[in-house]
Chain A
Amino acid sequence: MSKDQKSNSSTGPVKSMLDDLDTSNKNLQHIGVEYLNVHTEGTVHAKRMPGTFRTLKWWAASVWLFFFVGPYIQWDNRQAIWFDLEGRQFHIFGITVLPQDVWVLAMILLFYALLLAATTAIAGRMWCGYGCFQTVWMDVFTWIEEKVEGLPNKRVKLDKEPISFKKFRIKLPKWIAWGLIGFLTGFTFVAYFDPAIDLWARLFTFDWTSTESTIILSLAAATVFFAGFLREQTCIGFCPYARIQGAMIDTESVVPTYDYDRGEPRGRLKRAVEGDATSELGDCIDCNLCVAVCPTGVDIRKGQQFGCITCGLCIDACDSIMEKIKKPKGLIRYASLAEFAGKPFVPFYKRPRVITYTSIMAFALAAIIYGISTMSPIDVKVLHERAPLFVAMSDGSIQNKYVVKIVNKSDKQLDAEIKVRGPEGLVFIVDEVIHVEPGNVGTATLLVRIPKKILTKQNTTVKIDVQDIHNPAVKETYSSMFIGPRIR
């Protein structure tokens, strides 16, 4: 404690360090915290207009049709993509993945996580803008809303009206359509786990299990809630991606950006008169169309912000205006901050961030390919009997007992033959053929005897070969230990 403070405390009450400051003006804005630009005036009713990015968005969205079609594709008399939880196996076309191989799934997740990071580094929230189910479902839902209730201004007016039978009647078709889409979404999701056709059949006989009903109905409700009611608030307030994107993009990421230098000062376009002062104005005519079309209700002219899902619809809107006022397009365009700062353009494949992300992706991809190509149709585990570890037999040999477990991951019956390799004089006793049904585990007791005088160590390695007698290519070798008495 310094002398000053000591004398201070002895002379009077302890002073707060804020006492000498004038804090009357210290609200959030004054101390430099900007309020986040979030649309707060009720539901965003964005204007819809055609354009390049609008078309791109529909194409991207149509990829989700595969989600709905997926469960109806058949393969080998079963659903092609079927995550059979009860049978503990995942079928993806010809491949059957058992829980033992689930590390491959982890690699797939790693790959996609890094794909998300890489695309964000290159071109911002591409996933959010074009691919994300929230964006896509919301897009479809608002499209339906427009068909049912009319253009945005009409919808705003309708929302403001008090509850009435007329309002209910206008909105009902929309709710039915939303509910149907929501139901289909939940249904399709569950259909990947319980075969779709059977699930339909059981719908009409009211034969769903409580788990199925609960998941389907709550997913349907969640779909309507998120895509119909919560909408852009999900992207802004719920999704963590909005917050972490700041760490994932940099000054070289290409995102929809307003060309500030070209646009400002913005102002109403006046008829050009020669020698008039209008030329001092920038290209932005402050028509606010970019705000009107934005599905999350942000103003892109304030710069890159967390509400922006980089869908490019403002670019479409601005380009249409630029065309009308005969100015070059691209006042709002996909551009990086480095470009505006006049820095040379760095191709994305030369940026360390992108290189790092893609090399991790390459690793994950290699692991996936390795995993799938070496996925053996059988899996062999050998458990050594522990009590007793070994038994002395009357012929002077030592016997070890093993339990061999053979998992048949293929869809054909497996007739496995077990053979043991080891030191000379080794004898083994096991059932001639072990039948294992598809997706099942076969168990065999294996007895191995080695004459005591041959054993040179307490532990001797033995190789246990398991082979399908009908298909010799199906083969696994398990390396196990033969345990004998301590050698003195």
Chain B
Amino acid sequence: MAHNNPWPDEGNTGHIWDEDLRELDNPPPLWWMLSFYAGFIMIVFYTLYYPTIPLPNSYTKGVAGWTAIEEYHEDYNILKDWREKKFSGQEEQLAALSVEEILQNDELKTYAVKTSKVLFGDYCAACHGSGGQGNPNFPVLADDDWLWGGKVSQIKTTITNGRQGNMPARGMMGNLSDEEISQVTDYVIALSEGRADDAAVAAGKGVFAKGMCVACHGPAGKPLAPAGAANLTDGIWRFSGDRDEIIKTITNGVNVKKNGETTANTRVAIMPSFKDRLPNADVNIKRLAVYVHSLGGGQ
């Protein structure tokens, strides 16, 4: 190439295309070269300062021992300290006041509700749904039908100690026949639809008395006090409102045990105690009680 370079003196590299297109060898501008050298020096310092070179089983640690995760932890702790400091007043109040008092205090109530979302998601939502909407065979928390009472103190007790209701299979005495169960099922459905006095379900009404259902569910299908028995007069079902499912519930009962073993087809309905499960349980249970109370059905 260079041997027939028609422009020998202009400082081209000798690379010539299309007869006259050639690459010149001009130096880059000074500022460009200076930043290049500065960048190169930076790389040296960078390499020394930060973890850089991978080794077979390790890597160079850098002179300052910096790591990204450590920096993250430091920043996180700053945030944590800031939060603890900023909300220490509210946290102290949550610890000092009773749930009823917290509910009375608008600001504190809002604080409790807002700080409960994650807690509820972690500990409650698996069964009760992310918004308290319930799941099949797990109670809805957003409605006003409470098995164990919808006052905030009752909710707190429920969370603290857990709950476990019992319903014997085949009536209190365990002596209802399939025929009778079918009749009482019709009656219970009629109860929920407000047709309890229909002649068609008179037989079931008799069974309701005979099976001593009244003992827990109340004479009119409505428990006298919230003690785990379902209110049968409303349209809300603890398990399912389908006829077959109601028959299943009556036939097998709820949490029925024989010789210490849970029977095969019985409904299992256990709310565990959270006083040992939650971190900082004293405050967090209050917080959650207020939250559940605010979901839409608190009394």
Contact = CB atoms under 8 A, between A and B. Distances in A.
Interface of A: 16, 385-388, 391-396, 399, 401, 431, 443, 445, 447, 452
Contact of B140 (A386, A391, A395, A452): A391
B19 A391 contact: no
15 contacts: A387-B132, A388-B142, A391-B143, A393-B234, A394-B231, A394-B235, A395-B234, A396-B235, A399-B142, A399-B297, A401-B142, A401-B295, A401-B296, A431-B106, A447-B296
Interface string B204-241: 00000000000000000000000000010011100000
Interface string B131-163: 111100000101111000000000000000000
Contacts of B110: 443
A387 B131 contact: yes
**Most chain A Cβ neighbours within 10 Å, of B18, B142, B235:** B142
Nearest to B106: A431
Contacts of B143: 391-394, 399
B129 interface: yes
A320 B140 CA distance: 92
B164 interface: no
A391 B231 contact: no
Given A393-B143, A393-B144, A394-B143, A388 B133 contact: yes
A183 B106 CA distance: 49
Interface residues of B, number: 23
Contacts of B236: 392-394
A391 B18 contact: no
Contact of B133 (A391, A396, A452): A391
B234 A396 contact: yes
A395 B235 CA distance: 8
A394 B235 CA distance: 6
Interface of B: 18-19, 106, 110, 129-134, 140, 142-145, 231, 234-236, 294-297
Contacts of A386: 131
Nearest to A399: B296
A388 B129 CA distance: 8
A16 B294 CA distance: 85
A429 to B, nearest CB: 9
Contacts of A395: 234
A401 B298 CA distance: 13
A394 B296 contact: no
A392 B133 CA distance: 10
A398 to B, nearest CB: 10
A377 B18 CA distance: 72
B133 A387 contact: yes
A251 to B, nearest CB: 42
A213 B158 CA distance: 58
A445 B294 contact: yes
Contacts of A16: 18-19
Nearest to A435: B106
A393 B145 contact: yes
Contacts of A452: 235
B221 to A, nearest CB: 12
B234 A387 contact: no
Contacts of B140: 388, 391
A452 B19 CA distance: 89
A446 to B, nearest CB: 10
A394 B132 contact: no
A468 B144 CA distance: 31
B142 A394 contact: no
Given A387-B131, A393-B145, A447-B296, 17 more contacts: A16-B18, A385-B131, A386-B131, A387-B129, A387-B132, A387-B133, A388-B131, A388-B132, A388-B133, A388-B140, A393-B144, A393-B236, A394-B145, A394-B235, A399-B143, A399-B297, A445-B294
A386 B142 CA distance: 12
Contacts of A401: 142, 295-296
Contacts of B18: 16
B128 to A, nearest CB: 11
